[in-house]
Structures are given as C-alpha cells and as structure tokens.
Amino acid sequence: MIDWWRSYCGSAPVAGDWLARWNGDPLLITLLLAALVLAARLPVGRRGAGLSGITVLAITFVSPLCALSVALFSARAVHHLLLIGFAAPLLAMAWPVRGRVAVTLPLSTAILWAWHLPVLYDAALAHVGVYWLMQATLLASSWAYWASIRRASAMEAVAGIAGGAVQMGFLGALLTFAGRPLYESHIATTFAFGIGPLADQQMAGLIMWVPGMAPYAVAAAWIAARRWQDFATGRAAA
C-alpha cells in the first residue's frame, strides 16, 4: 500500500550513498515499460522521439537523480529541466497534441512558477500524491507547449520560444539572487554534500538560467532551419 504522506523518493541521501539509490517502484517501472512498448509501435518518423522521451523519463524518475533531488534543490532543477526541456518536447514530437501557443505558454508558465512557490514545493517533496501532481502537471503543460510550438507559424513559434526562454531565465534569476533559502525541504539536507542551502539554491537558479536556455535555443534553430528550407525550396521551384 502506498504511503501518500511521505517523500516519494525516500529520505535525503548523503554524499556516500546516493549513487546506489535507484528507484525500484514497480508501478512506475511497469508504466515506463508499457510506454516503451507503445513508443516502439509508432511510425518510424516518430518512433525515435518516443523512445528517447520515455528514456529521459526513466532517467528522471528511476535513476539516483530521484533520491538526490530530495537532498539538493540544484538536483531538483536538473530533474525539472530533463522533464520539461527534454522529455516534453520529445514526447510532443512522438505524440503531438493540439493547442495554441497563446494558451499553452501562459499555462505552462503559471504551472512552473506555482510549483516553485515554497509552500507548494515543500508539500510536493513531503507527500507522494502532491509530488505526482507536480510531475504530471509540469509534464503535461510542457508537452502541450512544445506541441503548440511545432504546429505554430514561424512568427508565432518564435514569439512562443522567446516567451518560454524569458520566463525560465527570470525564474532562474530570482532563485539565483534570492537573499535567503526559500525551501524548508532543503534547509538541512545540503550540508552532507559540503554545500549550504543558499549556495545550493543559487546553483539551481543558474542551472535554470543557463543550461535551461538550451531547449529554447535548439527549438529556435529548428525553426530557422525549417524556414530556410522552405525559402530554398521556393526559390528552386521559381
């Protein structure tokens, strides 16, 4: 029976044991294997993205990163970056959903920022049900956002990518320059790794601020390449 009133990834690890803390949740592993089977049956053009997206989810939730993110907010930033910046766009390529950037961008932004409010973030780390609500809403809203970017016109897609990058960078900057630790969950868990909670929070902000821009840069490059191909094709036809 699931104990809903505990941390999903268990207690915070220490520096000497976190690499051994793989998540063996049988329900999660069963769902991931079922998703891999579904991805393997996709058309060839979408199969690779589906398999890659599920693999990223496995790394996010099954690897020792799950346990490490209980101890370090910076590890949680990596966890969220993998979820919304890598798994979500890959899943959007494999299983596109409908949506408009004007809706999906503010929705995904509101959900991401809401889960970084201290009261909601600490609740997610303390209770299994709230934890999975966090993960599901972050993934679903980001999935819809990236799918809408793929469907949008070039101008709308560029505006949506710029908006996504700005909100991610702004959130990262707020965390980087906060003058005190914001999250009770990590007040006492970072010292085992030789770092204080404020420095850990600043590192998390930098992860969101700098590497967090990578998915948006890749998406912008993809839009530019697609536009150039359309231009070149049109010129050749002319």
In the chain, the amino acid numbered 62 is V
What pLDDT is stored for residue 234 in this prediction? 58
> What's 12's DSSP letter?
P
- Given this model, what pLDDT does residue 1 score? 43
Per-residue pLDDT at 238:
45
Instruction: Please report, as a single letter, which amino acid is at residue 211.
Output: P
Spatial separation of the C-alpha atoms in residues 132 and 18, rounded to whole Å: 21
Angle between helices 118-126 and 128-151 (to 10 degrees): 120
Position 4 scores a pLDDT of: 45
Question: Do 193 and 15 contact (CB within 8 A), yes or no?
Answer: yes
CA dihedral sign of residues 58, 107, 89, 70:
negative
Structure token pair of residue 64: 């020792």
Residue 87 DSSP code = I
* One pLDDT digit (tens) per residue for the chain, 238 residues: 445 446 899 899 999 899 999 999 999 999 999 999 999 999 999 999 999 999 999 999 999 999 999 999 999 999 999 999 999 999 999 999 999 999 999 999 999 999 999 999 999 999 999 999 999 999 999 999 999 999 999 899 999 999 999 999 999 999 999 999 999 999 999 999 999 999 999 999 999 999 999 999 999 998 888 777 766 665 544 4
